[in-house]
């Protein structure tokens, strides 16, 4: 906690505020990114477990949301236990999640429904169950009421829930303007990849916009895409020189 009040009245008030916030900021119950700059912007020093988070792709790419899916895969790869991934359109390519975000295919159970409402139901049931490492749902729409229910279900069980917003056509992306009860909201856009000394595509880079953080403030980061253990990096040149060198060797 950044401020420790000597006054018992203030610390009590702070405890009450923290309780009202659904325990989102309780110590030790966060999944940190391991990057000081990002973690500092998030209350508690990371993504709260037992909370709903929302991730969408940015710009025209939102319809495909490939970067957002990898970002989410990188987050859930760092949790323990089985992952439930609720969807209607099965187009995730597992070898990519494995190699690029460290999410092992044995850990992910996909639940495929025909209708969007069923995805919401599955999402909530998975969150309520309480034995999973994380629950991810690919959603087109996330109404306020539904997001509130999901947030409460996540709080009750302590499972991290991630709503991965996907749209079928660009006009539907306007739905992202509507508020939800999610604890954090992210938008992941693609940036041109890191330049390589040889022709070819370098490590992918994203612009991660933290649009909303409950009890926190908005921020944006230029990050290097997940590595093989699901960790993103802020300055990919310094952290992953080895990775870059291997890529360059592969391509040469």
Minimum separation from the CB atom of position 164 to other proteins (A)? 11
Least Cβ distance, residue 20 to other proteins (angstroms)? 29
Q: Point out which span in 34-42, 58-66, 143-151, 208-216 binds other proteins (CB under 8 A).
A: 58-66
Complex with other proteins: residue 207 or 234, whichever CB lies closer? 207
CA distance 72 to 165: 11
Considering only 14-22, 26-34, 48-56, 89-97, which stretch makes contact with other proteins by CB under 8 A?
A: 89-97
Please choose, out of 20-28, 116-124, 141-149, 173-181, the segment that lies near other proteins by the rule CB under 8 A: 116-124
Q: Long-range contacts made by residues 112-119, C-beta under 8 angstroms, separation at least 24?
A: 112/87, 112/88, 113/86, 113/87, 113/88, 114/88, 115/88, 116/88, 116/140, 116/141, 119/86, 119/87, 119/88
Q: Does 65 bind other proteins (CB under 8 A)?
A: yes
Near other proteins by CB under 8 A: residue from 10, 13, 99, 156: 99
Q: Assess 94 for contact with other proteins (CB under 8 A).
A: yes
Query: Any contact of residue 58 with other proteins (CB under 8 A)?
Result: no
Distance CA 61, CA 166 (A): 10
93 binds other proteins (CB under 8 A): yes
Residue 44 or 65 with smaller CB distance to other proteins: 65
Q: Decide: 3 and 11 in contact? Cβ < 8 Å.
A: no
Q: Assess 81 for contact with other proteins (CB under 8 A).
A: yes
Asked whether position 246 contacts other proteins by CB under 8 A, the answer is no
Task: Indicate the residue among 118 and 175 with the shorter CB distance to other proteins.
Answer: 118
CB atoms within 10 A of CB 61: 16
- Rounded to 10 deg, the angle between the 144-157 and 116-129 helix axes is 20
Among 50, 126, 161, 230, which residue interacts with other proteins (rule: CB under 8 A)?
Answer: 126
Question: Phi, psi (5° rounding) for residue 39?
Answer: -60, -30
| Spacing of C-alpha 55 from chain mean position | 6
Q: How far apart are CA 73 and CA 96, in angstroms?
A: 10
Stretch that binds other proteins, among 22-30, 34-42, 60-68, 174-182 (CB under 8 A): 60-68
- Residue 191 binding other proteins, by CB under 8 A: yes
- Distance of closest approach, residue 188 Cβ to other proteins, in angstroms: 8
Give the C-alpha separation, 151 to 88, whole Å: 21
The CA distance from 152 to 191, in Å, is 35
Closest CB 181 distance from other proteins, rounded Å: 23
* Binding region for other proteins (CB under 8 A) out of 36-44, 122-130, 175-183, 214-222: 122-130
Contact flag: residue 56 with other proteins (CB under 8 A):
no
Is-contact 126 73, C-beta < 8 A? Answer: no
């Amino acid at each position: 906690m950044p401020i420790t009040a000597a006054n018992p009245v203030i610390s009590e008030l702070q405890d009450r505020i923290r309780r009202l916030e659904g325990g989102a900021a309780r110590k030790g119950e966060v999944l940190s990114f391991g990057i000081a700059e990002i973690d500092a912007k998030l209350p508690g020093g990371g993504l709260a477990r037992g909370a709903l988070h929302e991730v969408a792709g940015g710009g025209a790419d939102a319809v495909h949301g490939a970067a957002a899916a990898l970002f989410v895969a990188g987050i859930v790869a760092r949790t323990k236990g089985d992952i439930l991934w609720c969807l209607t359109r099965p187009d995730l390519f597992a070898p990519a999640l494995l190699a690029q975000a460290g999410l092992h295919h044995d850990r992910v159970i996909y639940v495929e429904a025909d209708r969007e409402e069923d995805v919401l139901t599955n999402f909530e049931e998975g969150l309520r169950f309480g034995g999973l490492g994380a629950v991810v749902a690919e959603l087109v729409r996330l109404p306020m009421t539904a997001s509130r229910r999901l947030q409460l279900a996540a709080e009750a069980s302590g499972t991290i829930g991630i709503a991965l917003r996907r749209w079928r056509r660009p006009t539907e992306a306007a739905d992202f303007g509507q508020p939800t009860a999610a604890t954090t909201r992210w938008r992941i856009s693609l940036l041109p990849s890191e330049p390589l000394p040889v022709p070819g595509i370098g490590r992918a880079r994203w612009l991660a916009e933290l649009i909303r953080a409950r009890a926190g403030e908005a921020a944006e980061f230029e990050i290097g895409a997940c590595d093989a253990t699901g960790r993103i990096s802020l300055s990919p040149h310094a952290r992953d020189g080895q990775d870059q060198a291997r890529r360059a060797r592969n391509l040469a």
